[in-house]
Structure 1
Amino acid sequence: MSSHGKGARTIVGRRLFVSASMAGMVAAPAIVSAQSASGDWPSRQIRVVVPYPPGGPSDITTRIVLERASSLLGQSVLFDNKAGASGAIGAEHVKNSAPDGYTFLTTTTAMVCITQHLQPLPYDPATDFIPVARTATSWIGMGVNPQVPANNLQEFIAYAKANPGKINFGSAGLATITQLYGEMFNIETGVNMVHVPYKGSAPATNDLLSGQIQVQFDPTTLPHIAAGRLKCFAIVGEKRWPGRPDIPTLREQGYGKIGGDAWFGILAPKGTPQPITDKLAKAIAEAAGMPDVNEKLVTSGNYASYLGPAAFKETIARQAKSFGEIIKTAGIKI
Structure 2
Amino acid sequence: MTQRHHARTGRRAFPAIAFALCAGAMVLAASAASAAYPDHQITLVVPYAPGGGVDSVGRILSRGLAKELNQSVVVENRPGAGATVGAGYVKRAAADGYTMMVVDPALIINPSLMANLPYDPLRDFTAVSMLTLSPLMLSVTNGLPAKSVAELQGMAKTGGQGLSFASAGIGTTPHMAGELFKLKTQGNFIHVPYKGSGPAMTDLISGQVQFSFSTIAAASPFVTTGKIRALATTGDKRSPDWPQLPTVAETVPGFKVLFWTGLFVPSQTPPDVVQKLNAAVAKVWQSEEAQEALKKIGETAAPPMSSAQSQDFVHSESRMWATVVKDANIKVD
TM bucket (normalised to shorter chain) is 0.7 to 0.9
Q: CA deviation at 1:23?
A: 7.0
Residue 281 of structure 2 corresponds to 284
Q: Which string of whole-angstrom CA distances, capped at 9 and with x for unpartnered residues, describes residues 191-222 of structure 1?
A: 22222233433233222222232111112222
**Hey, what's the Cα distance between the residues in 2 that align with 1:168 and 1:20?**
68
1:319 to 317, 321, 333: 317
Residue 301 of structure 1 corresponds to 298
| CA gap 1:55/1:138 in 2 versus in 1, 3 angstroms | farther
Q: CA deviation at 1:182?
A: 1.0
**Hey, what's the Cα distance between the residues in 1 that align with 2:201 and 2:77?**
27
**Hey, what's the Cα distance between the residues in 2 that align with 1:295 and 1:253?**
33
Please state whether the residue corresponding to 1:186 is helix, strand or coil.
Answer: helix
1:131 to 121, 124, 127: 127
Q: CA deviation at 1:171?
A: 2.0
| CA gap 1:120/1:322 in 2 versus in 1, 3 angstroms | same
**Hey, what's the Cα distance between the residues in 1 that align with 2:55 and 2:224?**
24
**Hey, what's the Cα distance between the residues in 1 that align with 2:34 and 2:250?**
42
Q: CA deviation at 1:65?
A: 2.1
Q: Which runs of 5+ in 2 are unaligned?
A: none
Q: CA deviation at 1:288?
A: 1.7
Contact 2:54 2:102 in 1 (8 A): yes
| CA gap 1:170/1:23 in 2 versus in 1, 3 angstroms | closer
Q: How does 1:1-334 map to 2 (within 5 A)?
A: 25-163=21-159, 165-219=161-215, 220-237=218-235, 240-241=238-239, 243-251=241-249, 255=253, 257=255, 260-305=257-302, 306-334=304-332
Q: Which runs of 5+ in 1 are unaligned?
A: none
**Hey, what's the Cα distance between the residues in 2 that align with 1:19 and 1:179?**
58
Aligned CA-pair RMSD: 3.0
Matched pairs, number? 328
Q: CA deviation at 1:92?
A: 1.7
| CA gap 1:139/1:301 in 2 versus in 1, 3 angstroms | farther
Equivalent residue letter for 1:261: L
Structure exhibiting the larger radius of gyration computed from Cα positions? 1
Q: CA deviation at 1:133?
A: 1.3
Q: Which string of whole-angstrom CA distances, capped at 9 and with x for unpartnered residues, describes residues 245-283 of structure 1?
A: 31133345554646x422111111132111101110111
Q: CA deviation at 1:108?
A: 1.7
Contact 1:226 1:243 in 2 (8 A): no
Q: Which string of whole-angstrom CA distances, capped at 9 and with x for unpartnered residues, describes residues 294-327 of structure 1?
A: 2211211211114332122222222222212212
**Hey, what's the Cα distance between the residues in 2 that align with 1:283 and 1:130?**
16
Q: Which stretch of the first structure deviates more once superposed, 149-158 or 62-71?
A: 149-158
